[in-house]
């Protein structure tokens, strides 16, 4: 009896998983808009940049090869982090307006990751050819680049990425969007919204591999 019950439950899970795979395939085939803006949906999502060695990361073969709101800054260890933050929030770091830094994480000695509130702020920083901060009246150069995504083999197969999310869209709205289009219950997934893209974390993997 126990064997039959366990087998039946396994069969039910297998059927549900297959339905999810079919739903996601159909989901990816269609074009989707949120508030009249076209969004892009991809099969895989990069891991947290803090868990990946960006010095060895390779470009994403699916098209998005960097985090649009996240930059890596390499600098001499004797430069104060607060001074670096003030620099990147100012007009001196590029563009015509001040910027909003959401977070700064130390990646390793002399290397930090800076996440901006807007991808436009990150783009303005990257567009500027040179960056430097004066320490005791001596200019100290800063090396800046986008934080690249990890290689495909490091991707989590239980996630999807939704790009080009319109400004002002909240996680609750995206949850309803996913429930409607994939036929999932709210306990079957989690939505993590970051700047203009979102990460859909599924309870079950979308692949049977």
Give whole-number Cα distances, 83 to 21, 86, 90, 158, 184, in Å: 49, 5, 11, 39, 47
Domain borders along the chain are: 21-47+152-202, 66-148
pTM of the complete model? 0.48
Q: Which residues contact 203 (CB under 8 A, 6 or more apart)?
A: 158, 187, 188, 189
* 198 three-state secondary structure: strand
Q: Measure the CA–CA gap between 136 and 88, rounded to whole angstroms.
A: 19
CATH architecture of 66-148: 2-Layer Sandwich (3.30)
Q: For the segment 47-77, what is each residue's pLDDT rounded down to a tens digit? A: 444 444 433 333 343 355 777 888 999 998 7
Residue 180 near residue 32 (C-beta atoms within 8 A): no
Alpha-helical regions (H) of the chain: 2-29, 81-89, 119-127, 171-182
> For residue 44, what pLDDT is reported?
59
Q: For the segment 84-118, what is each residue's pLDDT rounded down to a tens digit? A: 999 999 999 999 899 999 999 887 888 999 999 88
């Amino acid at each position: 009896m126990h064997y039959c019950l366990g087998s039946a439950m396994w069969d039910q899970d297998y059927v549900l998983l297959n339905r999810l795979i079919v739903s996601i395939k159909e989901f990816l085939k269609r074009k989707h808009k949120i508030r009249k803006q076209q969004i892009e949906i991809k099969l895989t999502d990069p891991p947290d940049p803090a868990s990946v060695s960006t010095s060895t990361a390779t470009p994403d073969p699916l098209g998005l090869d960097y985090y649009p709101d996240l930059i890596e800054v390499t600098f001499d260890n004797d430069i104060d982090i607060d001074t670096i933050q003030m620099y990147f929030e100012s007009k001196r770091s590029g563009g015509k307006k001040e910027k909003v830094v959401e977070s700064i994480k130390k990646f390793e000695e002399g290397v930090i990751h800076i996440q901006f509130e807007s991808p436009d702020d990150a783009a303005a920083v990257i567009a500027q050819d040179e960056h430097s901060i004066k320490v005791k009246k001596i200019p100290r150069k800063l090396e800046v680049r986008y934080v690249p995504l990890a290689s495909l083999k490091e991707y989590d197969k239980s996630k999807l990425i939704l790009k080009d999310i319109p400004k002002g869209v909240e996680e609750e709205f995206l949850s309803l969007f996913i429930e409607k289009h994939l036929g999932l219950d709210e306990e079957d997934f989690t939505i993590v919204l970051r700047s203009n893209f979102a990460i859909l974390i599924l309870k079950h993997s979308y692949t049977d591999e």
